[in-house]
Amino acid sequence: MVPLAVRAFAARVLLGLPASVQRRLAGEPIRVDGQQLATEAQLILRLSPDRGPESSIEQARRQMRATTEVAGGRRIEPVATRELAIASAAGAIGARLYRPDGLPQPSPLLVYYHGGGWSVGDLETHDNVCRFLAVHASTAVLAVDYRLAPEHPFPAAVNDALAAFRYAAEHADSLGVDPTALAVGGDSAGGNLAVVVARLAAGDRRPPVFQLLIYLGADAVEVRPSRVLFGRGFLLTEERIQWFLDRYLPDRADRSDPRASPLYEPELHRLPPTYLATAGFDPLRDEGELLAARIAEAGVPVALRRFDDLYHGFANAVGIGRGGREAMLEIAGALRVGLAIGGAVSPATSRSAQRAPAR
């Protein structure tokens, strides 16, 4: 097997080549559903053929870490980190606080949930994602190491995710953050957890004022057209989606629960302003975009952005190539604006304004 360091170096070299050279290496352009896959994305797919579900959960977790080590690149500095243990009814939840150098206190905070089908991924696989968002959005980030399936099926991850957000709100002073400028966010399964937390914490004294959702899974029941169009050949396959669902939601009766499938949430109007990103060549694209439409119909401000030439997982590719990094720069900019606006019009601010005497 080729060592990880060699694979990482080769990936950086290939994705640093001129676009014309990449085009020759990638082959004929891939066009589906009126979209053309980015050249470097197509090259990555050629280097990373589809895999079927792993034979064991341990193998799947090792593969996730290895893939991230190749695609994530060098650590983004300067970001100070602090390991935390969050007390909960089920035991301690691991977490990591990121704070860019020079960030004033109290600062905004993004509570971030990693992707990985609720079964793989951890603080290390998404370390560079959190560093990138912290630096480029000028915010502190609290990454949450929630419990994973199949050892801890639904709703364990939801309970941990909610407990971590409430911990951040209750311990804002010790974290050096502004309790009126808290956001939730995540990618893939983490985006699913973020929107669920935003809904469950909507009635809290310090609810989220913004949510950042990156190619999330929103429907564990219905197979939508993008899962047919892109269910093979684009890294995240339909077979792997089902494999993840079977581990996180072994009881099929749970799959329509709004805490598992936010598309079935009846009170979407209680969500905060939202930025939702999808990828054009992602099996989960359609359910994410349908959720954005329904949130907008409920009267919540939503910015929907489809990166139509990318695929599921681009957030983890900030260290190599250009496409994933450019997309994440835009996403970080949206987070920065969303936190600034959300903090200025937080529920606490609104209540204070309503109590102020007329002049």
Per-residue confidence (pLDDT) for residue 3, from 0 to 100: 59
pLDDT in tens, 104-155: 999 999 999 999 999 999 999 999 999 999 999 999 999 999 999 999 999 9
Q: Beta strand 210-214 with 274-281: parallel, antiparallel or unpaired?
A: parallel
* pLDDT of residue 10 exceeding 80: no
Per-residue confidence (pLDDT) for residue 278, from 0 to 100: 98
- For domain 4-348, the CATH class is alpha beta
* pLDDT of residue 358 exceeding 50: no
> Domain limits of the chain?
4-348
Per-residue confidence (pLDDT) for residue 8, from 0 to 100: 63
Residue 57: how many other CB atoms lie within 10 Å? 16
Helix, coil or strand: residue 296: helix
The three state secondary structure string of 210-237 is EEEEECCCCCCCCCCHHHHHCCCCCCCC
Give me the active site residues, please.
188, 282, 312
pLDDT in tens, 54-108: 678 998 998 888 878 776 666 777 899 999 999 988 899 999 999 999 999 999 9
Question: What is the band of 43 on the pLDDT scale with cuts at 50, 70, 90?
Answer: confident
* pLDDT of residue 32 exceeding 80: yes
* pLDDT of residue 354 exceeding 50: no
* pLDDT of residue 352 exceeding 70: no
CA distance 22 to 42: 9
- The predicted model gives 193-200 an average pLDDT of 98
CA distance 148 to 146: 6
**What pTM did the predictor assign?**
0.92
Q: Which amino acid is at 71?
A: A
Per-residue confidence (pLDDT) for residue 344, from 0 to 100: 62
DSSP track, 175-218:
HTEEEEEEEEEEETHHHHHHHHHHHHTTTSSS--SEEEEES---
pLDDT in tens, 46-69: 766 566 666 789 989 988 888 787
* pLDDT of residue 286 exceeding 80: yes
- The predicted model gives 301-320 an average pLDDT of 93
Per-residue confidence (pLDDT) for residue 178, from 0 to 100: 97
pLDDT in tens, 213-265: 999 999 999 999 999 999 999 989 999 999 999 999 999 999 999 999 999 99
Question: What is the band of 5 on the pLDDT scale with cuts at 50, 70, 90?
Answer: low
* pLDDT of residue 301 exceeding 80: yes
What tokens appear for 123 in the block? 């603080």
Q: Which amino acid is at 212?
A: L
* pLDDT of residue 14 exceeding 60: yes
Per-residue confidence (pLDDT) for residue 89, from 0 to 100: 85
Q: What percent of the chain lies above the pLDDT cut of 90?
A: 73
Residue 357: how many other CB atoms lie within 10 Å? 4
Question: What is the band of 4 on the pLDDT scale with cuts at 50, 70, 90?
Answer: low
